[in-house]
Structures are given as C-alpha cells and as structure tokens.
Structure 1
C-alpha cells in the first residue's frame, strides 16, 4: 500500500475533467491500477446503515423523503431504543459488516437527552468491535469531541453536490455549513465520510467540482460515498430519470484516481443496478457497499444481505475483515 505522502491536494477542474472524460475503458483500467496499488482488490467492506430516527426533518433537500414538507409514504419514527440499535449492530456484525452507521433525520445535533442516547449507542457499537459511524446533521466542535470520546470512528456529512449547484437542491442550509461541520469533525480527531449524489439534474462539471472540493481538502476524507439519486415519490426530484450506469462508473473511477487512499463506497441506487453493472463499479475502484437485513438504505430500497453475499461470491470478492481498537475512535 502506498504512502499518504504521495497524495495530491492541488487538483484543478481542468485536470479532473480530463480524467472524467477519458475513453471509458482507459479510465477504468487506470482506476483499477490505482485501486490495486492502494487497496486489496478482492476485498469489499460491508457496511450497514440504520435509520435510528426517521422523518420529520425541517430541511428541504429536494431528493430526501424524510423532509417533513414533502408528502411521501415514509413513516416518521422517533429515536430507537439503545437496546434495539445494539441488537441491529450485533446482527450486522454477524452478517459480515465491519462498519455500522447510525443516521438520524435531524438538521443539527442538539445538546439534549436524545444526543445523550446517541452517545450511549456509539459506546455500545464501539464495544462490539465495529467501525461506528454517525450522520446526524450539523455538528459543533464540542459535540464532535463528545462523540470522539464515546468512540466514534467516522462522521458522515455529504457535500451532496457542487458549491455552484447546491442552492438548486437545498435552501435551508448553505454549502459552507457542510464544510464547517467537516472541519469540526477533523478537529475532534474523527475520520471523515463525505461524498455526494449524482443524478440530481447537475452537469458533469458539478460532479467534478464536488470531487475537487474533497480532493483538495488538507486531508482527504477517509470515506467517500458515491450515491445515485434514489427517486422518492412525493419529492421534487421524483420524476428525474435514472442516472446512466456509465456515468456512475466514470464518477467512481475519477474518485478512485484522485482519492486513492479513500474508501469509495457504492451507496444509494444499487437496487436499480444489475450484478454486472455493480461489477463495473468495483472494477472502477469502489470497495464498499451498504447492505442491511431490512433491505433498505435509510428509507429507500436496497439489496439484502443474502443477495449481496451471492454477488460477491460470483465476482470472486470477499467481505473485508476489520476489527477496530475500542480503546479510542481511531485505528
């Protein structure tokens, strides 16, 4: 595996566009070569994402069925009991997951009893030997420190799209708010999980701009989810077409080349991808998927555990084994 000192943090938009627009076969070959230099090519990290508090969010993210202002079929669910969450985490570990992510549909973390319960969940999942990740909305530095002290390994806060296109998708917070939360996570010594969504109506230049923001951070995000829009009935983006698979492959390959040390996560949208299409994404450098016993990714359909394990076996891939040092949040 290569040294992080080899990483670049000074990419230009022109350089990234040139990579993204390479002939597809050449692009995938180069990405696969980078992937093999930095990672074990036959390992895929299995991650489980659980919605611990669902719906009722005051934000207006155009893609999200959990926004209270949209009329969707998603049922609002209060914060789950800690025991229930830990039971899900144990089952996820038994099914091959090495990372367990907890999501709450909040605009921001508040210093109240619900946050105290999240802290207890983090401690419990950490004690199971899993990488524990949370996505809870905006976060202050002091809140990030509390999570770190509880054993949080990673915090997810996606950019979603480019700074230029951001206001077309969300009006209830600013792009800079997302950057500030990521900075607070870094200051606390927690690893960063940040990526975005394609298929929102953005242009390829917006995808490149988002990747450039991530790649030119002082420290690259350790985890970069690449999501295809999961169209939810009742949201403003429900009528957008399914993103072309080759666009997904190009996005993953470009992310792999410019963020070589990061875990590139093939995230939302897999339910609409065939096994062959997912295989192309793995060849292009994706080395993690989200799976779950409920066959959902938060509130949208997702392949189930058995289906994913069969796919990995068919492709000659295996779940990554990764035990976390539970004495602190960083391995």
Structure 2
C-alpha cells in the first residue's frame, strides 16, 4: 500500500495580503506604469456607450450628428481628444502623407462683398489694388513651378461675388483647369457663388474640387458678412456636389466667435449629405484696414481642438492647415498632423497673405518622416485615402477567395 499522506488543515479564510498564494482562475494583465505603480486586473472589452467612445470606434462616417454630440466631443479634455483623433486618423489615413496644395490669385481685389476679414473687399481700405484676371499661360507657369516643388494640388481664387455674366472668364478658367490637369495635378477653384450649370462646366473641364467656405456657425455668420447669406453658401456647395465635384469647405478661427460657434461650424459641415472631401482650418490673419485688422490671432489650443474634433466627426475628410499656419512653430504643426491634419497650403503666397514656403515644408517633411500625398489619391468616398481603399479592397478579395 502507498504511504499515507499527512493531512493538511486548510483555513476557511485567507489572511490579508495572501492573494499571491492562490493561483488566479484567469490570467491577469499586469502593467508597469512609468512612475512605478502596478495596476493588475483582467482587460475586458465593453461596447462603446458615450458619444466620444462611439466616434473613436467608428468604422464609417455618420451624418446625423446633433449639436450636443459634437459639443461633447469638442469639450473633451484636449490631450485625450488629440490622442483619440490620432488613433482615428491612423485608421482612415496614412499618417505619413500630407497633401501639398498651392493657392494663387487669378484675379485680385475689387470684390463687392463686405467680408470683415478680407483684404480684397472694395469696401475696406487695405491699400490693395484691384487687377484683372491674369493670363492662362501665367497661371500654368505658376502651376509648373508648384509641381516642381512638390505640390500636387493647384488652387485658383478669384475675388468676386459670383460668376454671373462672366462667360469669358469662365472659358479662361476652364482652360486653366485643363492645363493643370494635363500637368498631372489636381485642381481646385474658389470663384464665389456658382450655379449648377457652371459647376457642371467646370466638372467637364476636369476640375477636381470647388472651394466655398461657410466661415463660421450659422448663428455668428451675420457678424462676419452681410452681403451673402449662409444659405447662399450652402446652395453653392450643393451645386458643386450635384455636379460631381469634390467639395472643400471649412471655416476661420479668431473672428470674435465663441467655442459654441466652433461647434456650430462643425455641425454645419458634418451634417451635410456628403462630408466635404477637404475641410480647411484657417486662423484669422488680421489685415490693417479691415474691420478685424486689430484682432489678436486665435490661440494654438483652439486650432488643435478644432482639428482633433473634426477628425473624430469626419474621419475620412482631408483636414487642411490653411491661413495662419505661419504663426505655428514646427512642433505645433507636427502636433496638428498627429491629431488629424493631413494637408497644407504651401508656396510663395496664399492669396494676399504670407505662406510657408516649399523649402521650409520639405525640411519639416524630411525631419519628421512625412511625404506628399500623390495627386488624385484622395477618393471620392468622402475623403478616403488610396491606401485605405486599397487595403479594404485587398481584404475583401481575400475573403472572397477564402484566403
């Protein structure tokens, strides 16, 4: 017979601090934090419940946002908001790719509108002289220079209210658009209000995108401009969409608005039937002689918060650092890229204001491992980038083939 094992008396309760003596029924994750404390406990996945959590885990854009939901996201503590936006950005875009855009004036000054921020209004005393539209050849020469320096989208702006009665100008603009496309570049124009027929003509000429900013919230808008209504802006955007053009529309920070107006701006854009292909984030550049010429520029945290919130709310849209980028440090710009910005204006000038140059941007790109987004890479599907579309298609094919 085998030897009898001695009996061991097992206590009915364990002494305090003796949990380590009993093996856990389930494996536990033990994480060592940087400052030395240890946190243990099983990692569990729960279904997202808050607006912020739903935005963070979204797999596609949504268009039925409420203002309260957008406010909840916008009001998230900034560090948490920026980190989350970065995660969403990496899910929908290649974070190393930045679209490089160059914007020139093809017709300067003399505009009849009263936009309180604009140097090109004929109602303001800025000292800017009005000019006629420049020649097609001059525009295409500028486009070639932009391409040689790395820009992949070429944008052309004309200072006037709308395109009514401008048949000759429209014909010349279409020649510019065709010429830019022949260079292998995307083209974008901002020509004020256009009707559906004009939008279709531009589309047929090969135009990639139409820019028409809404500027700010519907509520604050009357404080900015009185000569064009908010709904007229939305109608132009609808015309561009119906014609099959990509839409570029965004806003300006630092006009005297409040945080609720940033929420209102995002609400307007994020609830459009189709999210814009690109969303430019401008910060006011105060220009002497305009009603806002003495304002201080908007602080950086507002820019970062707006970019991060926009990324969570419109995950596929390209977010562009636009006017006012010259006041940002290199590190601030990179932080914006990490939080979701993936386009810039670059070149010699941006309409009438200073612009970060190609040489400066190329140095930043090289240092931080960034590269220009190639032309025609952004998809029509609400700003989807080519790598994301190709990856989804590859995954779909693998499923169909049973691999």
TM value normalised by structure 1: 0.94
Where in structure 2 are the equivalents of 1:216-235 lying within 5 Å? 216-235=271-290
Decide which of 360, 368, 371 is 1:315's aligned counterpart: 368
**Does structure 1 residue 16 correspond to structure 2 residue 78?**
no
> Of the two structures, which has the highest relative contact order with CA contacts closer than 8 Å and spacing of 6 or more?
1
**Does structure 1 residue 246 correspond to structure 2 residue 301?**
yes
Shift of the alpha carbon at 1:73? Answer: 3.0
Distance 1:188 1:241, change over 3 A: same
Determine helix, strand or coil for the equivalent of 1:6. Answer: coil
Determine helix, strand or coil for the equivalent of 1:233. Answer: coil
TM value normalised by structure 2: 0.78
Contact persistence 1:131–1:324 (CA under 8 A): no
Contact persistence 2:60–2:315 (CA under 8 A): no
Distance in 2, Cα, partners of 1:6 & 1:242 = 34
Shift of the alpha carbon at 1:322? Answer: 2.4
Range with greater deviation from structure 2 (122-131 or 181-190): 122-131
Shift of the alpha carbon at 1:18? Answer: 1.2
Decide which of 329, 333, 336 is 1:278's aligned counterpart: 333
Decide which of 97, 102, 105 is 2:156's aligned counterpart: 102
**Does structure 1 residue 117 correspond to structure 2 residue 176?**
no
Counterpart in the other structure of 2:253: 198
Distance in 1, Cα, partners of 2:127 & 2:333 = 28
Range with greater deviation from structure 2 (153-162 or 102-111): 102-111
Distance in 1, Cα, partners of 2:340 & 2:159 = 30
Determine helix, strand or coil for the equivalent of 1:297. Answer: coil
Instruction: For structure 1, list consecutive stretches of 5 or more residues without a partner in the other structure.
Output: none
Number of equivalent positions? 322
Counterpart in the other structure of 1:304: 357
Shift of the alpha carbon at 1:240? Answer: 1.1
What is the root-mean-square deviation of aligned Cα atoms in Å?
A: 1.6
**Does structure 1 residue 76 correspond to structure 2 residue 130?**
yes
Determine helix, strand or coil for the equivalent of 2:82. Answer: helix
Instruction: For structure 2, list consecutive stretches of 5 or more residues without a partner in the other structure.
Output: 1-57, 387-403
- CA offsets 1:79-119 (integer angstroms, 9 cap, x no match): 11000101111111111111110000010013421111111
In the TM superposition, structure 1's runs of 4+ consecutive aligned residues that sit over 4 Å from their partners are none
Distance in 2, Cα, partners of 1:7 & 1:260 = 6
Contact persistence 1:130–1:324 (CA under 8 A): no
**Does structure 1 residue 173 correspond to structure 2 residue 228?**
yes
**Does structure 1 residue 36 correspond to structure 2 residue 93?**
no
- CA offsets 1:142-175 (integer angstroms, 9 cap, x no match): 0001000100110000000111011000000100
**Does structure 1 residue 237 correspond to structure 2 residue 307?**
no
